[in-house]
Amino acid sequence: MGFGHKQMGLEIYARIGYVSGYRMPEVLKRKEFARWQEREGLPDAALCAAVQEMRSGLVDADLGCMLFKKRVARLGRGKSGGYRTVLSAMVGLRYVFLHGFAKSDKDNITAAEKKGLQFVGKVFLKLSGEALTEALRSGVLMEVGCEQDH
């Protein structure tokens, strides 16, 4: 069950973290990231694969303050000519995709971008259940449609 049923008792989700076996979303994306993702035609499945790799210990770059850079393959091409995503993560608990860019567009994020992403990423990772529910309800964050294999 996805978060499409978000009008069914969000307050309960916030208090106890799950309802009828549903847990709070583990993989999320920022609204701005989702817009970029849609323009690029990058499917959620690619983000889910990146998270699964992180769970297995495959991280491309640890940028500090729970901020990571992860390569994601472009459809039909591969990772080397693909995308770079920047996400905040408490590995195994919560992943929030914050920023993305094509490798062909730029080599890396700037120091100012890194600092801003570290700040906002920490905020999203530390959200309480109630605050996370409100961020999802308002559209600031969106769930990434991953089937969890736990």
Residue 14 within a domain: no
Residue 116 within a domain: yes
pTM: 0.82
Residue 45 within a domain: yes
Q: Read out DSSP for 130-146?
A: HHHHHHHHHTSEEE--P
The answer to whether 71 and 82 are in contact (CB under 8 A) is yes
Domain that holds residue 45: 27-143
Domain tally, the chain: 1
For the segment 95-148, what is each residue's pLDDT rounded down to a tens digit? 999 999 998 889 899 999 999 999 999 999 999 989 999 999 999 999 998 865
Residue 113 within a domain: yes
Residue 3 within a domain: no
Q: CA nearest 93: which of 12, 6, 25?
A: 25
How far, in Å, CA of 88 to CA of 67, rounded? 4
For the segment 37-74, what is each residue's pLDDT rounded down to a tens digit? 999 999 999 999 999 999 999 999 999 999 999 999 88
Give residues with Cβ within 8 angstroms of 82, minimum separation 6: 71, 72, 73, 74, 102, 103
